[in-house]
A and B are shown apart, each in its own frame.
Chain A
């Protein structure tokens, strides 16, 4: 064996070498090198406030926002509650009249028709109670029911003075009107009897014409009272309705956000032209004016560059007359200035690429410099 190893030491040597290599590998692989926690680089752009505002200005080419069906539901929800509250309030306000009942005793004590009269107008102006107002006199007339016959008795003698039919129809009219007016209020039939008593009182107090006149205005205010009452009710209902609405409005506002940002005006100057775009535009203008400008001037020692202020339309046409900013002091140079103005006029509809359309506000007013040395090339 030893001899064999001596003659062929390869196996021993190879085995030993492999063992050594494995050992080294074991040691070196013992701890895998961990990657450094890679910091992901995030591209950051620094914007000035101005740039930020420009970004958020909105797009000009946006289409008109289509009406969203989702909003309809919310709107309907909002509409429904509105009609209901006034009804409830109308019912609710019926009980309110009772306060006048308190006043009833006062006129009763006075036994005077006058005190109640001033009160109704005040109430009509202020609040719906006008109807209850006429009621207070009711108790007063009650002692007078005996009077109506008197009044009737008085009236017959009057008719001879004037045609009877005129007077006769008048008394029935007011009650009809009153009857019409009476159903509208929810008040029980009691007021009807009272109302009937009213015209009687009026008739007593005033002549038949006066009574008719008085009855008409009385009826008018009553007819107008219903709208006024409605207005008054609305005024009351708004307060109560407001308490209900806020929740609905919040929901509507919460769901249907204004998804369409404000669409910029077509001439808003939100986008800015980059320097390269400026350069391109200058190139375009220079190229076009070069073709229009023909000036065979004398290369004078005096350097004069006519500056012409031009205002363009969006299509590239001229607005108004080109204005020469620096008039040449040297009369020889006047031809150069005139040739420049001619060139501007000749090139009237400038071809301005469509890509500059959004930046119209920036290039609409330009000061063109017609440098003979540059343009000659």
Chain B
């Protein structure tokens, strides 16, 4: 942004306003803002892609698990097959609850009194863990969506400041002098919006998906805990019969 360059540019051949020259001619701070916003955009899109893939996988896994769970097969067999490999979402809830159940039965004579409460606790914890896994990095999207335009605006303000200073220095207000500086400055805002708009849209979409899968997992946890509590009651009754 040397005034002399601008003046010569104004007098000489028309100033080149390609994307690269716009970036290269910008002030250091504006360059930093542009690069930062570009990085944020890359990051946001990476998160968006990863999360989209994760959510589709989670959804399909939940569908598959529910199908297996309600197929009428023995829960014991299901547990055996699932506990061998790392699980996701509902399967992990099921595995965690079954593990707690089995552990309670392994120590014979251990009280069934707290088992129900324990299972529910375990289910809550594993739901929270799953949600946290799904929700992670969504805050980055929210931050970029809200801060991106401001950062871009900062770059624009800075660029316009420098371009006005160059006007004052060159004492020339012709559009050829003013336009390149303002184009550079506006480029920063453009990048900021370029990063922020998709981030905002996908943050809302992904947040909705997280909420839906959370609701789905909680409903499954309630159903499963009710099944287990029925089993517990049944077990307690049989124990009482045996004792009698």
Instruction: Give residues in A with beta carbon < 8 Å to B.
Output: 8-15, 17-18, 22, 25-26, 29-32
In contact, A30 and B18 (Cβ under 8 angstroms): yes
Q: Which residue of B lies closest to A25 (CB)?
A: B19
Whole-angstrom CA separation of A60 from B198 in the bound complex: 72
Interface pick from B45-53, B148-156, B232-240: B45-53
In contact, B19 and A26 (Cβ under 8 angstroms): yes
Asked if B227 is an interface residue, CB under 8 A from chain A, the answer is: no
Whole-angstrom CA separation of A11 from B137 in the bound complex: 13
In contact, A9 and B38 (Cβ under 8 angstroms): no
Kindly identify which residue among A11, A22, A30, A31 contacts B46, using a CB–CB cutoff of 8 Å.
A11
In contact, A10 and B19 (Cβ under 8 angstroms): no
Which residues of chain A are within 8 angstroms of B47 by Cβ–Cβ distance? 10
In contact, B53 and A29 (Cβ under 8 angstroms): no
In contact, A9 and B50 (Cβ under 8 angstroms): yes
Kindly identify which residue among B18, B20, B43, B45 contacts A17, using a CB–CB cutoff of 8 Å.
B45
Q: Which residue of A lies closest to B52 (CB)?
A: A10
Interface size range of chain B in the complex: 10 to 19
Whole-angstrom CA separation of A8 from B45 in the bound complex: 12
In contact, B18 and A26 (Cβ under 8 angstroms): yes
* Count of A-B contacts judged by CB separation below 8 Å: 50
Kindly identify which residue among B18, B19, B20, B46 contacts A15, using a CB–CB cutoff of 8 Å.
B46
**Shortest beta-carbon distance from A20 to chain B in Å:** 12
Asked if B163 is an interface residue, CB under 8 A from chain A, the answer is: no
In contact, B17 and A10 (Cβ under 8 angstroms): no
Whole-angstrom CA separation of A25 from B38 in the bound complex: 13
In contact, B53 and A9 (Cβ under 8 angstroms): yes
**Shortest beta-carbon distance from A257 to chain B in Å:** 39
In contact, B18 and A10 (Cβ under 8 angstroms): no
Q: Which residue of B lies closest to A24 (CB)?
A: B19
Say yes or no: A10-B20 contact (C-beta < 8 A), given A18-B38, A18-B41.
no
Whole-angstrom CA separation of A15 from B44 in the bound complex: 10
Which residues of chain B are within 8 angstroms of A11 by Cβ–Cβ distance? 42-43, 46, 50
Whole-angstrom CA separation of A12 from B53 in the bound complex: 14
A-facing residues in B1-46 (Cβ within 8 Å): 17-20, 22, 38, 41-46
New contact pairs (11) apart from A15-B42, A29-B17, CB-CB < 8 Å: A9-B49, A10-B46, A14-B42, A14-B44, A14-B45, A14-B49, A18-B45, A25-B19, A29-B18, A29-B19, A31-B18
